[in-house]
Structure 1
Protein backbone atom coordinates (compact mmCIF):
# COMPACT_ATOMS: atom_id res chain seq x y z
CA UNK A 1 0.00 0.00 0.00
CA UNK A 2 2.84 2.37 0.87
CA UNK A 3 4.43 1.83 -2.51
CA UNK A 4 1.07 2.21 -4.34
CA UNK A 5 0.52 5.56 -2.61
CA UNK A 6 4.01 6.78 -3.46
CA UNK A 7 5.10 7.08 0.17
CA UNK A 8 8.83 6.92 0.92
CA UNK A 9 10.47 3.88 2.49
CA UNK A 10 10.23 3.86 6.24
CA UNK A 11 6.66 5.16 6.34
CA UNK A 12 4.18 2.75 7.86
CA UNK A 13 0.45 2.35 8.25
CA UNK A 14 0.95 3.55 11.83
CA UNK A 15 2.45 6.79 10.49
CA UNK A 16 -0.70 7.29 8.42
CA UNK A 17 -2.79 6.67 11.53
CA UNK A 18 -0.93 9.45 13.37
CA UNK A 19 -1.37 11.72 10.37
CA UNK A 20 -5.11 11.00 10.37
CA UNK A 21 -5.38 11.72 14.10
CA UNK A 22 -3.42 14.98 13.88
CA UNK A 23 -5.51 16.09 10.90
CA UNK A 24 -8.73 15.50 12.85
CA UNK A 25 -7.36 17.44 15.83
CA UNK A 26 -6.21 20.34 13.65
CA UNK A 27 -9.70 20.46 12.10
CA UNK A 28 -11.24 20.86 15.56
CA UNK A 29 -12.42 17.32 16.29
CA UNK A 30 -13.20 16.59 19.92
CA UNK A 31 -11.27 14.11 22.03
CA UNK A 32 -14.16 11.58 22.06
CA UNK A 33 -14.52 11.83 18.29
CA UNK A 34 -10.83 11.17 17.64
CA UNK A 35 -10.91 8.31 20.15
CA UNK A 36 -13.87 6.77 18.36
CA UNK A 37 -12.33 7.09 14.88
CA UNK A 38 -9.06 5.58 16.07
CA UNK A 39 -10.79 2.79 17.96
CA UNK A 40 -9.23 3.70 21.28
CA UNK A 41 -10.64 2.04 24.38
CA UNK A 42 -11.33 5.44 25.92
CA UNK A 43 -10.66 9.14 25.31
CA UNK A 44 -8.00 8.90 28.02
CA UNK A 45 -5.90 6.74 25.69
CA UNK A 46 -6.25 9.37 22.98
CA UNK A 47 -5.18 12.14 25.35
CA UNK A 48 -2.18 10.14 26.53
CA UNK A 49 -0.89 10.09 22.96
CA UNK A 50 -2.21 13.30 21.38
CA UNK A 51 -2.92 15.84 24.16
CA UNK A 52 -0.03 18.04 23.01
CA UNK A 53 -1.77 18.59 19.66
CA UNK A 54 -4.97 20.14 21.00
CA UNK A 55 -4.90 23.92 21.42
CA UNK A 56 -4.17 24.96 24.98
CA UNK A 57 -6.19 27.33 27.11
CA UNK A 58 -3.81 30.21 26.31
CA UNK A 59 -4.37 29.78 22.58
CA UNK A 60 -8.15 29.53 23.03
CA UNK A 61 -8.15 32.69 25.16
CA UNK A 62 -6.17 34.62 22.51
CA UNK A 63 -8.52 33.40 19.79
CA UNK A 64 -11.57 34.45 21.81
CA UNK A 65 -10.20 37.95 22.36
CA UNK A 66 -9.21 38.23 18.69
CA UNK A 67 -12.74 37.30 17.61
CA UNK A 68 -14.27 39.95 19.85
CA UNK A 69 -11.85 42.66 18.74
CA UNK A 70 -12.65 42.22 15.04
CA UNK A 71 -16.41 42.61 15.57
CA UNK A 72 -18.21 45.90 15.37
CA UNK A 73 -20.59 47.07 18.09
CA UNK A 74 -23.50 45.18 16.49
CA UNK A 75 -21.58 41.90 16.51
CA UNK A 76 -21.71 41.54 12.72
CA UNK A 77 -18.00 41.18 12.19
CA UNK A 78 -18.03 44.26 9.91
CA UNK A 79 -15.66 46.90 11.19
CA UNK A 80 -17.64 49.68 9.54
CA UNK A 81 -20.93 48.45 10.94
CA UNK A 82 -22.45 48.15 7.46
CA UNK A 83 -24.14 44.98 6.36
Structure 2
Protein backbone atom coordinates (compact mmCIF):
# COMPACT_ATOMS: atom_id res chain seq x y z
CA UNK A 1 0.00 0.00 0.00
CA UNK A 2 1.25 3.47 -0.93
CA UNK A 3 2.02 5.90 1.89
CA UNK A 4 -0.28 8.92 1.49
CA UNK A 5 2.52 11.19 2.68
CA UNK A 6 4.44 10.42 -0.51
CA UNK A 7 1.52 11.69 -2.58
CA UNK A 8 1.35 14.82 -0.43
CA UNK A 9 5.09 15.49 -0.84
CA UNK A 10 4.95 15.02 -4.62
CA UNK A 11 1.89 17.24 -4.90
CA UNK A 12 3.60 20.01 -2.88
CA UNK A 13 6.67 19.83 -5.13
CA UNK A 14 4.52 20.07 -8.26
CA UNK A 15 2.53 23.02 -6.93
CA UNK A 16 5.70 24.81 -5.86
CA UNK A 17 7.32 24.24 -9.26
CA UNK A 18 4.25 25.74 -10.93
CA UNK A 19 4.28 28.69 -8.53
CA UNK A 20 0.63 28.16 -7.58
CA UNK A 21 -0.83 28.21 -4.07
CA UNK A 22 -0.60 24.98 -2.13
CA UNK A 23 -3.87 23.18 -1.65
CA UNK A 24 -4.69 19.93 0.08
CA UNK A 25 -5.21 16.81 -2.01
CA UNK A 26 -8.78 16.66 -0.67
CA UNK A 27 -9.38 20.11 -2.15
CA UNK A 28 -8.77 18.58 -5.60
CA UNK A 29 -11.50 16.04 -4.87
CA UNK A 30 -13.90 18.82 -3.89
CA UNK A 31 -13.01 20.84 -6.99
CA UNK A 32 -13.52 17.75 -9.15
CA UNK A 33 -17.04 17.21 -7.77
CA UNK A 34 -17.89 20.92 -7.99
CA UNK A 35 -16.85 21.14 -11.64
CA UNK A 36 -18.85 18.03 -12.54
CA UNK A 37 -21.94 19.49 -10.86
CA UNK A 38 -21.49 22.83 -12.66
CA UNK A 39 -21.28 20.91 -15.96
CA UNK A 40 -24.63 19.23 -15.25
CA UNK A 41 -23.36 15.71 -14.54
CA UNK A 42 -25.97 13.60 -12.74
CA UNK A 43 -25.43 13.50 -8.97
CA UNK A 44 -25.74 9.70 -8.96
CA UNK A 45 -22.78 9.44 -11.34
CA UNK A 46 -20.76 11.95 -9.30
CA UNK A 47 -21.54 10.04 -6.11
CA UNK A 48 -20.31 6.84 -7.71
CA UNK A 49 -17.14 8.57 -8.93
CA UNK A 50 -16.41 9.89 -5.43
CA UNK A 51 -17.03 6.48 -3.87
CA UNK A 52 -19.93 7.64 -1.72
CA UNK A 53 -22.18 4.81 -0.56
CA UNK A 54 -25.24 6.70 -1.82
CA UNK A 55 -26.08 9.98 -3.59
CA UNK A 56 -27.53 11.51 -0.40
CA UNK A 57 -24.01 11.86 0.95
CA UNK A 58 -22.97 13.73 -2.18
CA UNK A 59 -26.04 15.97 -1.96
CA UNK A 60 -25.30 16.74 1.70
CA UNK A 61 -21.96 18.22 0.65
CA UNK A 62 -22.73 19.69 -2.76
CA UNK A 63 -26.47 20.52 -2.97
CA UNK A 64 -25.69 24.24 -2.58
CA UNK A 65 -23.89 24.08 -5.94
CA UNK A 66 -26.83 22.68 -7.87
CA UNK A 67 -28.56 25.20 -10.11
CA UNK A 68 -31.89 26.48 -8.87
CA UNK A 69 -34.15 24.17 -10.80
CA UNK A 70 -37.28 25.72 -9.33
CA UNK A 71 -36.98 28.72 -11.62
CA UNK A 72 -39.84 28.56 -14.06
CA UNK A 73 -41.41 25.39 -12.64
CA UNK A 74 -44.75 27.12 -12.17
CA UNK A 75 -44.65 28.37 -15.78
CA UNK A 76 -43.84 24.89 -17.08
CA UNK A 77 -46.77 23.44 -15.13
CA UNK A 78 -49.09 26.22 -16.30
CA UNK A 79 -48.10 25.70 -19.95
CA UNK A 80 -48.59 21.95 -19.65
CA UNK A 81 -52.20 22.53 -18.55
CA UNK A 82 -53.07 24.78 -21.49
CA UNK A 83 -55.54 23.29 -23.98
CA UNK A 84 -54.42 23.92 -27.56
CA UNK A 85 -56.92 25.69 -29.78
CA UNK A 86 -58.16 23.35 -32.52
CA UNK A 87 -61.46 25.09 -33.21
CA UNK A 88 -61.69 26.85 -36.61
CA UNK A 89 -64.18 29.39 -35.26
CA UNK A 90 -61.67 30.53 -32.66
CA UNK A 91 -59.03 30.97 -35.37
CA UNK A 92 -61.51 33.12 -37.36
CA UNK A 93 -62.16 35.32 -34.33
CA UNK A 94 -58.45 35.87 -33.82
CA UNK A 95 -58.04 37.28 -37.36
CA UNK A 96 -60.76 39.89 -36.95
Shorter-chain TM range is 0.5 to 0.7
Give the drift of 1:15: 0.4
Q: What is residue 72 of structure 1 aligned with on the other side?
A: none
Match of 2:21 among 1, 4, 8: 8
- Which 4+ stretches in 1 moved above 3 angstroms? none
Matched length = 62
Could you tell me how far 1:57 is from its partner in structure 2?
Answer: 2.1
Q: CA RMSD in A?
A: 2.2
Residue ranges of structure 1 left out of the alignment (5+ in a row): 66-83
Structure 2 stretches of 5 or more lacking a match? 1-10, 77-96
Higher normalized helix content (fraction of residues): 2
Computing the radius of gyration from Cα coordinates, the structure with the larger value is 2
Q: Structure 1 pair 8/54, CA: closer, same or farther in 2 (3 Å)?
A: same
Contact kept? 1:2, 1:8, Cα under 8 Å:
no
Deviation of 1:8 after TM superposition, in Å, equals 1.6
